[in-house]
Amino acid sequence: MSDTEDPLAGLYQAVLEELGEDPGRDGLLKTPDRAASALRFFTEGYQQDPVKILNAALFDVDYDEMVIVKDVDFYSLCEHHMVPFFGRVHVAYIPNGKVLGLSKIPRLVTMFARRLQVQERMTTQIAATLEELLEPKGVGVICEASHLCMRMRGVEQQNSVAITSSLRGEFERDSKTRAEFLQLIRHRNVTSI
């Protein structure tokens, strides 16, 4: 039996038993507790509020060119099989009198990723939140991910990548803005200067 009071640990113990394992054997003694703790961490985004994450870092700045934070690493759990999908998100916006502290974009990505998700919804949630709270001239979000539900089971495709996008405002209306965004996220990262 699990040492903690976390009800998830008891459920994981029942899963081990259902699989034909002995939760009392040496290698599995703490597994229900560790698995419960891990799942709580992987889904901590449910306890976070995007308004609280972003509002403390909105600044009035007279800047109206594109701001991009690219290659934001993330991992999430697919809501269909509860196995990981992971990849990178590229986020851009065109300010309309307000800019956002740069570290807040990865925090927002992580918050939405740490929920049971589908990639399409996560992509639009990031864009919609930035659009609502920043009120920018435009927002662009592109997500590239590998899904273990496609690699480990089902079609077992080892090299497939899913790409989703949500383009709003200037990114949707103006082909030049969209092309600039796509061009800039293709550039190699700047390393130490």
- CA distances for 4 relative to 26, 38, 72, 91, 102, angstroms: 17, 14, 35, 40, 38
CATH 3.30.1130.10 in the chain: give the residue spans. Answer: 49-186
Is 90 known to be catalytic?
A: no
Active site residue 149: yes
Average pLDDT over residues 59-69: 95
Query: CA-CA distance, 27 to 40, in Å (whole number)?
Result: 21
Indicate whether 2 pLDDT > 70. Answer: no
Query: C-alpha 4: how far from its chain's center?
Result: 29
Is 18 designated active site? no
Query: Quick check: is 143 catalytic?
Result: no
Q: What is the CATH number of domain 49-186?
A: 3.30.1130.10
Predicted local confidence at residue 158, as pLDDT: 76
Q: Model's pTM, two decimal places?
A: 0.91
Check 13, 90, 117, 119 and give the catalytic one.
119
Q: Is the pLDDT of residue 39 over 90?
A: yes
Catalytic-role residue among 21, 48, 81, 180 = 81
Of 17, 44, 79, 120, the catalytic one is: 79
